[in-house]
Amino acid sequence: MATRQTQGLARLMRAPAIILLFLWMIVPLGMTLYYSFLNYNLLNPGMTSWAGWFNYQYFYSDPAFFAAIWNTLVLVLGVLAITVIGGIAIAMLIDKPIWGQGIVRILVISPFFVMPPVAALIWKNMIMHPSYGVLADIARFFGASPVDWFAQYPLTSIILIVAWQWLPFATLILLTALQSLDTEQMEAAEMDGAPAHARFLYLVLPHMARAITVVILIQTIFLLGIYAEILVTTNGGPGFASTNLTFLIYRAARLNFDIGGAAAGGIIAVILANLVAIFLMRAVGRNLD
């Protein structure tokens, strides 16, 4: 099929698209890398000079740095745990034929259509607010004192909000996987004497392994960059309790106008994302074969 001539021609025809993609990736990355070695502050843009590794040292010695990396990992893993486990549970519930199935499925999926800042504001002002939030009303009804979610459990609150947004995505992907499960296999297992939990463990979970992998990989990409929910709720606080790496970079760039420092943070974030990606592909990537 592929003779030497057609291979050469194919390479030539592919080249424009690949070169464009490469530039699209390498130019911003190169500029970020370049800025990260500059003393470049928007308050004083004329005084740009070569900084060497100073920006990295500065970012590294920032007391918020390790807190931000830790918060990033907790946020990603926490949301992944809630969405994968919850997604499997909800998918199995709405996979069963029930009355009003269509409406139930639309309701389950709808949080995904709400924009992140809007969702975060709704949670902040209508659900988790310590004086007029729904959770506060419920706490008072039972005679307990209301919880000030964003002051007492800032990171947990953000994990809950983000998990609420991503649960529909996980549910949708896992539901389609569940629907492709062969019913005769389940019946065969039933005749083989497998109770419901064994059928789940030996048939349903292995069948969904690939879909779970897809959910984990795609969500990780987006969860590493969570930003809007933090901005409109806790603003990274109290202290640095809910600051993740993305938000730390935002602070450097937009609050301190320190372009060099923000660029250095960006490069660190890219390295962290790649580390997470390598770890994930090792851990779950073989399910994609």
Partner 1 sequence: MGQITLQGVAKRFGEVEVIPPLDLAIDDGEFVVFVGPSGCGKSTLLRLIAGLEDVSGGRILIDGKDATDASPAKRGLAMVFQSYALYPHMSVRKNIAFPMKMAGVPQDEQNRRIEAAAKALNLTDYLDRRPGQLSGGQRQRVAIGRAIVREPAAFLFDEPLSNLDAALRVGMRLEISELHNRLKTTMIYVTHDQVEAMTMADKIVVLQAGRIEQVGSPLDLYHSPRNVFVAGFIGSPKMNLFSGAPAAEYGAATIGVRPEHIRISATEGKWKGRIGVSEHLGSDSFFYVEDTGLAETVTVRSTGEVNLHHGDTVWLTPDEDKIHKFDKNGDRI
- Name the site residues for partner 1 (rule: CB under 8 A): 182, 184-185, 187-195, 198, 202-203, 206-207, 209
What's the closest the beta carbon of residue 188 comes to partner 1, in angstroms?
A: 4
**Over the range 113-125, which residues count as b (16 or more CB within 10 Å of their CB) and which as e?**
eeebeebbbebbe
To 5 degrees, how large is the angle CA 49–CA 51–CA 55? 130
Q: Closer to partner 1 by CB, 115 or 201: give it.
A: 201
What's the closest the beta carbon of residue 182 comes to partner 1, in angstroms?
A: 7
What's the closest the beta carbon of residue 209 comes to partner 1, in angstroms?
A: 8
Q: Closer to partner 1 by CB, 137 or 182: give it.
A: 182
C-alpha distances (whole Å) from 125 to each of 111, 132, 136, 227 are 17, 8, 11, 18
Place of tokens 């969702």: 119
Q: Closer to partner 1 by CB, 184 or 255: give it.
A: 184
For 56, half-sphere exposure in the C-beta direction (CA atoms, 13 angstrom radius) is 12
What's the closest the beta carbon of residue 181 comes to partner 1, in angstroms?
A: 10
What's the closest the beta carbon of residue 194 comes to partner 1, in angstroms?
A: 5
Q: CA 73, CA 168: separation in Å to the nearest integer?
A: 22
- Bridge-based pairing state of the strands 38-39 and 49-50: antiparallel
Q: Which residues pair with 50 in a beta bridge?
A: 38
Q: Closer to partner 1 by CB, 33 or 194: give it.
A: 194
Q: Closer to partner 1 by CB, 94 or 209: give it.
A: 209
Q: Closer to partner 1 by CB, 105 or 207: give it.
A: 207
Helix/strand/coil percentages in the chain, nearest 5: 75, 0, 20
Q: Closer to partner 1 by CB, 137 or 192: give it.
A: 192
Burial class of residue 18 in the structure, from the number of CB atoms within 10 Å of its CB (0-12 exposed, 13-18 middle, 19+ buried): exposed
What's the closest the beta carbon of residue 197 comes to partner 1, in angstroms?
A: 11
First CA to last CA distance, the chain: 25
Q: CA 244, CA 248: separation in Å to the nearest integer?
A: 6
What's the closest the beta carbon of residue 97 comes to partner 1, in angstroms?
A: 14
